[in-house]
């Protein structure tokens, strides 16, 4: 038996078996970030001086349950994620697979314990625990409904920069938009207004599951995901508290990176861009800056 084998109880089906190294955020997102970056690598905001090969993984699921989730991930990647980024697609039709994908994603975020701000004994802990158990049964097809908690998909990142003119007032500047489109972050949160939610952001697409209360004020059917429906990239959401949360989160991430990345690593990043300038100009990260520069030229 290989020392790399890891046996234990699958978090989803509870069977004792060999556990896979499960990605908290689907593997295809990490591959896309590397493929479309100027350097071909990714970095972790916690330690920006170290380049990493992959996103966070934990021994969570058996092979059968891992494959169960892979079905939803493939549909999301092919029908929403890649068309949104590669084709600037703005209208998406979906059915029950998207609800399963969001719940499987935020279920993993919550049970992983990474960025979990809800300690045992907290007012919302039992409600969170009950929700996760309902989701577990739903993901195993043992029950038909995931419960009354609302799940939302928000296109926070803007891939077509001309859409900035259609949003008044603009939610943030172009460089914050680029940060959203080129980042992955997630967590389980209780905010200062005692609202509990699970969130995950994959390249500018944010998934939010309301835990307490089960539905937040200011969220509309434009972002709510049900058994089937249609989503547009231009959406209305009047929950200013969540907007403030996202803004402060990005500010903390940016501050941490700028305060902790070394001069040597900055030189490595800049040298990598200059050494392969053709690849850099075709990358998503610098390509967005190129779009912005062209807009500025036409506006002058």
Total length of the chain: 300
**Domain membership flag for residue 143:** yes
Name the residue range of residue 34's domain.
7-299
For every residue of the chain, DSSP letters joined together read --TT--EEE-TTT--EEEEEEEESS-HHHHHHHHHTSSSS-EEETTEEEEEESS--EEEEEEHHHHHHHHHHHHHHIIIIIHHHHHS---EEEE-HHHHHHHHHHHHHHHHH-TTB---TTSTTHHHHHHHHHHHHHHHTTSSS---S--EEEEE-S-SSGGGGGGSSS-SS-HHHHHHHHT-EEEEEEE-TTS-EEEEEEETTEEEEEEEESSS-TTB-TTTB--SSEEEESS--B--HHHHHHHHHHHHHHHHHHHHHS-HHHHHHHHHHHHHTHHHHHHSHHHHHHHHHHHHHHHH-
**Tokens 């609800």, residue?**
99
Q: Dump pLDDT digits (tens) for 145-188.
A: 999 999 999 998 877 766 766 665 555 677 777 778 888 889 99
- Per-residue model confidence as pLDDT tens digits over 103-127: 999 999 999 977 777 878 888 899 9
Is 2 within a domain?
A: no
pLDDT of 201 reads: 92
Contact yes or no for 101/73 (Cβ under 8 A): yes
* Statement: residue 38 has pLDDT above 60: yes
Taking the C-alpha atoms of residue 75 and residue 193, their distance in angstroms, rounded to an integer, is: 35
pLDDT the model gives residue 169: 53
1 in any annotated domain? no
Residue 50 lies in a domain: yes
Residue with the larger pLDDT of the pair 31 and 170: 31
Instruction: Give the span between the Cα atoms of 42 and 50, in whole angstroms.
Output: 9
Q: Using CA atoms in the order 62, 78, 209, 244, what is the torsion angle rounded to 10 degrees? A: 130
* Residue pair 256/236 in contact by the 8 Å Cβ criterion: no
Res 158: pLDDT: 79
Residue 155 domain flag = yes
Classify each residue of 205-218 as buried b or exposed e, where b means 16 or more C-beta atoms within 10 Å of its C-beta. bbbbbbbbeeebee
- Cβ atoms of 157 and 179 closer than 8 Å: no
How far is it, in rounded angstroms, from Cα 14 to Cα 18? 12
The answer to the question of residue 68 being in a domain is yes
pLDDT in tens, 200-246: 999 999 999 999 999 999 999 999 999 999 999 999 888 989 988 88
Considering the chain, what is the average pLDDT of its residues? 81
**Position 283 pLDDT exceeds 60:** no
pLDDT at 40: 63
Q: How far apart are alpha carbons 233 and 227 in whole angstroms?
A: 19
| Residue 240 is assigned to a structural domain of this protein | yes
25-29, 39-43, 218-222: least confidently modelled range? 39-43
What CA–CA distance (Å, rounded) separates 296 from 300? 6
**Higher model confidence: residue 262 or residue 196?**
196
Tell me which residue has tokens 């078996």: 17
Terminal Cα-to-Cα distance of the chain (whole angstroms): 67
Contacts of 176 (CB under 8 A, 6+ apart): 247, 250
Q: In this structure, what token pair is assigned to residue 228?
A: 């089937």
Number of folded domains in the chain? Answer: 1
* For range 21-29, the mean pLDDT: 92
């Amino acid at each position: 038996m290989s020392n790399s084998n890891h046996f234990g109880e699958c978090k989803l089906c509870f069977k004792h078996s060999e556990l896979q190294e499960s990605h908290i955020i689907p593997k295809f997102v990490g591959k896309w970030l590397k493929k479309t970056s100027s350097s071909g690598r990714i970095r972790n905001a916690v330690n920006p001086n170290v380049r990493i090969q992959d996103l966070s993984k934990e021994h969570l699921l058996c092979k059968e349950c891992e494959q169960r989730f892979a079905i939803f991930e493939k549909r999301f990647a092919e029908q929403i994620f890649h068309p949104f980024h590669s084709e600037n697609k703005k209208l998406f039709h979906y059915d029950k697979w998207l609800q399963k994908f969001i719940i499987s994603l935020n279920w993993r975020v919550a049970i992983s314990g990474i960025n979990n701000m809800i300690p045992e004994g907290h007012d919302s802990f039992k409600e969170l625990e009950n929700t996760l158990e309902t989701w577990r049964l739903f993901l195993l097809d043992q029950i038909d409904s995931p419960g009354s908690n609302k799940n939302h998909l928000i296109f926070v990142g803007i891939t077509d920069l001309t859409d900035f003119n259609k949003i008044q007032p603009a939610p943030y500047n172009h460089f914050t938009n680029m940060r959203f489109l080129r980042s992955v972050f997630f967590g389980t949160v209780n905010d200062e207004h005692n609202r509990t939610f699970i969130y995950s952001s994959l390249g500018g697409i944010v998934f939010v599951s309301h835990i307490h209360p089960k539905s937040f004020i200011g969220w509309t059917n434009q972002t709510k995901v049900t058994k089937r429906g249609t989503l547009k990239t231009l959406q209305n959401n009047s929950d200013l508290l969540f907007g403030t949360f996202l803004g402060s989160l990005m500010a903390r991430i940016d501050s941490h990176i700028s305060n902790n990345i070394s001069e040597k690593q900055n030189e490595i990043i800049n040298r990598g861009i200059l050494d392969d300038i053709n690849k850099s100009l075709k990358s998503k990260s610098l390509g967005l800056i190129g779009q912005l520069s062209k807009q500025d030229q036409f506006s002058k």
